[in-house]
Each structure stands twice: as structure tokens, then as C-alpha cells.
Amino acid sequence: MKRLFYLARKDVAVLLSDKANLFWVIGFPVVFALFFGLVFSSTSGGDSAMNMKVGLVDLDQSVQSRRFTEDLGAEEGVELIAMSMDQARDEVRKGKVTAALILNENFSANDGMGFGPDASAMQIMSDPSCQMQTAYLQGIVTKTRFTGFRDFFTDKERADEQFQFWRDGIAKDASLNPLLRATCMTFFDSLESFTDQLRESEAGAEMPDDFMTIETVSIQVDEDGGDFPAQGFQVTLPQCILWGIIGCVATFAVSMVREQTTGTFARLCVGPVEKTHILAGKGLACFFTSVMVVTFLYVLAKLLFHVSIGNLLYFAVAVFCTIFCFVGIMMFVCTLGRTEQAVGAAGWGLLMIMSMLGGGMMPLIFMPKWMQDAGAISPVKWGIYAMEGAVWRQFSFSEMLVPCGVLLGIGVLFFAVGSTILNRRIS
Amino acid sequence: MIKVDGLAKRYKDVPALNGISFEVSRGQTFGLLGPNGAGKTTAISILCGLVRADGGTVALAGQTDPTRPEVRRVLGLAPQSLAIYEDLSAQKNLEFFARLYGYSGKNLSRRVDFCLDVAQLTERRRHRVGTFSGGMKRRLNLACALLHEPDILLLDEPTVGVDPQSRNLIFDTIDRLKEGGATILYTTHYMEEAERLCDRVAIVDHGLLLDVDRVDALIENHGGLSHISLELSGPVVDILQLKKALGDDSLTLEDQQLRFKSLDPMEALSQLQGLGLDLHKLRIDRASLEDVFLNLTGRRLRDS
């Protein structure tokens, strides 16, 4: 047992003596957590830092089109940039703007609020690779339309302006016979009278500004059971920890091959150490280092970002299971090649794929359904899920069992396969 | 102390060892001399249990299984590839390996100090091995094999790529180990090293052991004739007479320069003096292990 400890201690010392290794196991996860933590913090807070750039082509150049674009520009999350049609097409093609909104010449004639029968009065030119953002833009445009419609009933100046526009149109339309023209004028007089009355009534006065906004309810809760303050760093902590563990795994897998390519492995085998001890020592060192890295990241998150953990015991269990799983994966990764370069490349490749599928790079909710389903095969997903369960999902004991059980199972499987191949290779 | 009998090993279709046999007595330094790919490292790997032989047997200190703890306890290996951690200091390397052998406290310090002294790295003990020269690394590699005071030392080309100063230091270390009674198996493709260090040498090539004996016996049996070159200062006798006296038809005599070959140079010289020749300069190129290898394999060791 002492020898196992000496082997593990040596591996930790070797790892810590290399600054490049330190970056991958500590520096990179911290940078990752800082970056995405700040992104999530800014998006979940009041001021959005993620404005979508949208080109605006106003071919109508009417009072209505200007009012509509003013309303749309006031919406959070959209930054309108006026441009010509050709420029808009070019900018969308180059990906410099996410989409372009085109208000055609018939925009005001269509009704001026976007509810007219001619769908071509307003168009969205979009980048096919930004379907999600385009859908988001459509939602904001629709909201702006309804807001304009609401303003028609609540803002007298605006209503007068609109009625005048309609009346002028009727007066100028030579195709209307006098009877129909008189009927239309009477209808608008009645509608104007109705809107005036509505505006002065209690219902009209109480119409809220955010009548189109749907309130969101957070499922996060803190230790006291109260609503949890939106903490981006709390969301990114599990991912940050995962990256730390992945860094350890990749580094130790390479060091395992380095032992074989240099003569140290031969010397250890000739010494009074069993091959199984050497493998176990490497696994133990990887485990210890990962624990050290996770502890460091946790302390950093606690001190710098005041990240709270929902259930510390469950968090420790989740971290243990995740590290156990990835130590097993380390054993497998170091069999992917016979040189440091081969294992380094193949190992990072495999871990990257696991990370991509498992939501280690981008939250799973942004991925297509099939990819979310495929993520179930990635231990990264289960690791993040287990830690999230302890940090903010408030998992019960039985709910923790599933991800932790999966992680332990994957760990045992990879450890068995990896150590079998290694043993065979060494023999 | 070491007994190898009919050792055979193939790597897929490539034969590495074709049934080699030799014995090394206690306290003897035994050399395996051969070019790269001759099977020297494979033989060492089988001897220390790193590689399983396809056929034949090995015995170390009377034990046929080199992986047994009692065998490992008496076995020290300095592999051809450097078996040290470049990210650790020389002292940390030695301490780590010493702890694995069960050393602790004062014993550990004593052994580490001794090995640092042997490798002449005491002043650089706290420096990272990665900053060492090739020769210093080789010396440390050898020192690590001596930590647990093994009875049997397997040194696989311990001077590859080192500077002359480090090479001499390694030679001195091996001389000290020999004086201490260690049994050493030394592989090399440098004939000078085999001649200088080894009591007995086995010539290996393509997995075959061509001959094994003392160095002088090998030269005597396979080295062939010595090359003698003379510059005469006095009157020259008839060349036919010289050829007849020395028994060498290929003898040449040009501008007072006499060149011939002989099995026994000293005997030949006394014969020349008997003919009344006045010798001005003399050069004798004795047969070497290089000639032994050439005569046994048909090619030079350096060209292999």
C-alpha cells in the first residue's frame, strides 16, 4: 500500500512540475468558468449583453414604418442597423448581421401595423444557419406589432395619426363610390369615438406596458428554500469542474504512455512493484489530482463568486463518482496509441466528443433533439447532471442514484477495458 | 549467477533470438557485443522478466522466474532508454526509486547520497533532470540501478550518446562495481568497451550467438593476423628471402617500407632481426574484436 502511495505521489509531483499541465488542469477550467459564467450572468441579469444585430431596410419611409422601427429598436435583445437592400443581402450572407428586416413600400398602405392582408409588406431575410435567432426575431416583431396595436387604443396622438391616414386614403381612392366612402367615414368616426371612450375607461387606463411579456419562474432554490439569485457561475461550476477533471485525465493518459516510451515503466516493472500496482498508482494519482483540482475550483468559486452549493454531501458524492468515472476513462485513453503524440491527440479528441455530446461545451438545450438523446452516452452529461443536482437542481437521494450509478458503471467498464489492454500490451 | 539456455524469441515474423545460450559466473562482467538489432536488448528484457521468451530458459541466482520478488531484489537494470523522470530533480528520482525498494530514513539518505556521488551529481542533486546533459542523464540512469545494492546488474548500452568525460565516469563506476564483486551483464556495440570492461564477451548477430569467450581468446581464434608495418634504415635483403622467412606471400617492400601480416608479431620481429635488418620505425596493428566480428559475420561491426 505504501508503494502505491509513493507511485501516486511521484505522479502528482511530476504533473505539478510542468506548467503546461497546470494550465490544462487548473488554468483552462478557471478561464472556461469565468468566460461562460460572465456570459450566463449577463444574460440572466437585467442588461442583456447579447444583442442580436439586425439589418433594417425601410423602403416605405413612412411615419408608420418609422414608428414601427422605433418600437422594435426599443426592444431588448435587438440592435437595428439601417441599410440598403443590397447591403442587407451582403451583410446577411457574410454573417455580419443575423438577419435583415425589410419593410416594403406597401408597409403603411397594408395597415401600418403589420396586420394587413399582404404578407409581403414585411419580410425577414435570414441566415439559414441562424434559425433559432430568426425565430427569436419573429417573436420580437410579433410582440412589437401587438404593442403598436395596443398603443392605437391607449395613445390618442397615435390613434389620431392613424385615423387621419386611413381617412386620407379613403378620400384619395377614386375607385370608391360615394356611398361606400360615406359608410367608411362613418365607421371610422364610430371607431374613433369607441377608442376615445375606451382610453378614458378604467380598462384602457390599466392596460400594462408589458402586456405581451410572459413572466418566467426560476426552478433554482437556495439552501434556505428561497428563490435563488440568478448566478451564472453556479450554472458553470459543474462544467468548469468537468474541464478540470478532463485536463487531469488527458495529462495522466499521456504520462502513462510516457512511462512506457521512456524506460521508467521497465524500471518499475523490474523493481519490487507489480504491474497492477503501477496501473493502480497511476489511477490513484489521477484521482488525487482531480480531487485537488476540484477542491481548488470549488474554493475559488466560493471565495470569488460566492457560489452556493445546494447539498454539499451530494456534491461530494457527485464529484467522487465523476472523478471515478474519468479515472476509468483515463485507463482507456492511454491505450489509444503507443506514443505521447498519438495518445495526446486521440485522448483530447475522444474527450472533446464526449464533452460536446454531453453539454460540456454548450448547454444541451441548444442542441437538436437527436443530439440531446445521443448525449446520454457521454459521461460528461451524467457528471454535469449529477453535480447540477447537488448544486441547484435540489435532487433527492433517489434522483442522485441514477447519474451517480451511471458514472460508476462507465468508470468500471472503461477501467476494466483499459487495464486489460494495457496489461496485455505490457506483457 | 546467470544462466541462459536456448533462449528464443520472435516478434511476428522477425526472429530476435535464435536459441542463444551462455553463463555468467558470480563477480564476472559479461559482454553481449553486437550491432543494433542483434537481439541484445531482447535478451536483457527476457532476463529481467519484461518480455516472455518463446523458448529456452533463464536462471538468475538460481531462480528460473525473473519476476519473483527475491530475484527482483537482487536485480538492477539500467535500460537503454533513459528510465528517469525528467520533471523531477536527481535527488527526487533516486528517493522515489529507493522508497519503492523499501528504503526510508537514514538508510534512504545514505543510499541516495552514495548514488549521487557515484554519478558525480551531488552538486546538481536539486536540479531538474530535464536540464541535465545527455551524459549526466546516463550517469543518473545507471545510479538508479545501483540504489538497492543489487548482486546482478543488467546494463543495456549504458554509454549510448554520452560525451567522453561521462563515458569515462561510467567506466570508472563499472570498475568499482567489479571490484565490489557485482555480476554484470553489459550490452554494447562498441568493441572498445567490451574489450576494456568485459571478462568474457559473446558475439551476437541476427539473434545468433556466434561465439563466447575471453576477449584475447576470441581474437586469437577469430581475429586473424596482425598487420605489421616497418620502416627500415639499413640495407634491404631480398624480398623473396623475407617472404620465405615470414611465411607471408602478400608481403610488400617499397621505399624502405615493409608491410606484412603475422599471427605472432613478436616472433616475426625476432626473425627479422635474425636477418640483420635495421628497424627504424615499427607499427603493429593487432587483430581486434572488430576483426573477430568481421571474420565471423563477413561484415564490419561499425557498418552493421
Looking only at Cα atoms, what is the longest distance across chain A? 111
CATH architecture of structural domain B225-286 = 2-Layer Sandwich (3.30)
Contacts of A427 in chain B (CB under 8 A): 52
- Mark yes or no for CB contact B88/A271 under 8 Å: no
Least confident stretch, A118-132, A341-355, B42-56, B279-293: A118-132
- Mark yes or no for CB contact A273/B100 under 8 Å: yes
A14 near B CB under 8 A = yes
Complex ipTM above 0.90? no
pLDDT of residue A225: 47
- Mark yes or no for CB contact A271/B97 under 8 Å: yes
Sign of CA dihedral A387, A388, A391, A397: negative
Q: Write the burial class of residue B177 (CB in 10 Å: 0-12 exposed, 13-18 middle, 19+ buried).
A: buried
User: How far B80 CA lies from chain A's nearest CA (Å)?
Assistant: 7
Higher pLDDT, B301 or A383: A383
Q: Are strands B152-156 and B75-78 parallel, antiparallel or unpaired?
A: parallel
B32: phi then psi, degrees, rounded to nearest 5: -105, 105
Using CB atoms, which residue from B77, B81, B97 is nearest to A262?
A: B81
- Mark yes or no for CB contact A10/B49 under 8 Å: no
- What is the spatial distance between Cα A89 and Cα B164, in angstroms, rounded to a whole number? 73
Sign of CA dihedral B205, B211, B217, B222: negative
- Mark yes or no for CB contact A271/B85 under 8 Å: no
Using CB atoms, which residue from A6, A268, A272 is nearest to B69?
A: A272
Chain A residue closest in CA terms to B49: A270
Residue in the structure block whose three cell numbers are 487548473: A26
Higher pLDDT, A332 or B251: A332
- What is the spatial distance between Cα B171 and Cα B235, in angstroms, rounded to a whole number? 47
CA dihedral angle for residue B210, residue B215, residue B217, residue B221, rounded to 10 degrees: 50
**What cell numbers appear for A399 in the block?**
434522483
**Mean of all residue pLDDT scores within chain A:** 82
Chain B residue closest in CA terms to A5: B100
Q: Write the burial class of residue B220 (CB in 10 Å: 0-12 exposed, 13-18 middle, 19+ buried).
A: middle
Q: What is the mean pLDDT of residues B70-79?
A: 89
Contacts of B111 in chain A (CB under 8 A): none
pLDDT tens readout for residues B133-164? 999 999 999 999 999 999 999 999 999 888 88
pLDDT band at A185 (very low <50, low <70, confident <90, very high): confident
Contacts of B73 in chain A (CB under 8 A): 272
Q: What is the mean pLDDT of residues A195-201?
A: 80
A365 near B CB under 8 A = no
Please calculate the CA angle A11-A15-A16 and round it to the nearest 5 degrees: 120
Q: Is B163 helix (H, G, I), strand (E, B) or coil?
A: coil
Question: What is the value of pTM for the model shown?
Answer: 0.69
Within chain A, which residue ranges are assigned CATH 3.40.190? 52-205
Looking only at Cα atoms, what is the longest distance across chain B? 79
pLDDT of residue A394: 82
Tell me the residues of chain A between 52 and 81 that have a Cβ less than 8 Å away from chain B. Answer: none
Contacts of A270 in chain B (CB under 8 A): 48-50, 72, 75, 77
H or E segment to which residue B152 belongs: strand B152-156
Q: Which amino acid is at A383?
A: G
Q: How many residues does chain B have?
A: 304
Contacts of B96 in chain A (CB under 8 A): 6, 10
- What is the spatial distance between Cα B4 and Cα B6, in angstroms, rounded to a whole number? 7
Q: How far lies B100's CA from each of A5, A120, B73, B137, in Å?
A: 10, 81, 11, 20
Least confident stretch, A4-18, A403-417, B78-92, B97-111: A4-18
- Mark yes or no for CB contact A17/B87 under 8 Å: yes
Q: Which amino acid is at B167?
A: R
Residue to test with chain A: of B50, B68, B91, B101, most A Cβ within 10 A: B50
- Mark yes or no for CB contact B92/A266 under 8 Å: no
Q: Give A52-205's CATH code, choosing from 1.20.120, 3.90.1570, 3.40.50, 3.40.190.
A: 3.40.190
Residue A328 near residue A414 (C-beta atoms within 8 A): yes
Contacts of B87 in chain A (CB under 8 A): 13-14, 17-18
User: How far A276 CA lies from chain B's nearest CA (Å)?
Assistant: 13
Is the confidence at residue A230, as pLDDT, over 90?
A: no
CB-based burial, A167-183: b 16+ in 10 Å, e otherwise: eeebeeeeeeeeeeeee
Beta-bridge partners for B4:
B22, B58
Residue A17 near residue B87 (C-beta atoms within 8 A): yes
Looking at the domain B2-220, which fold is it? Answer: Rossmann fold (3.40.50)
Is the confidence at residue B212, as pLDDT, over 70?
A: yes
A427 near B CB under 8 A = yes
**What cell numbers appear for B230 in the block?**
616497418
Strands (DSSP E) contained in A6-106 are 52-58, 78-82, 99-103
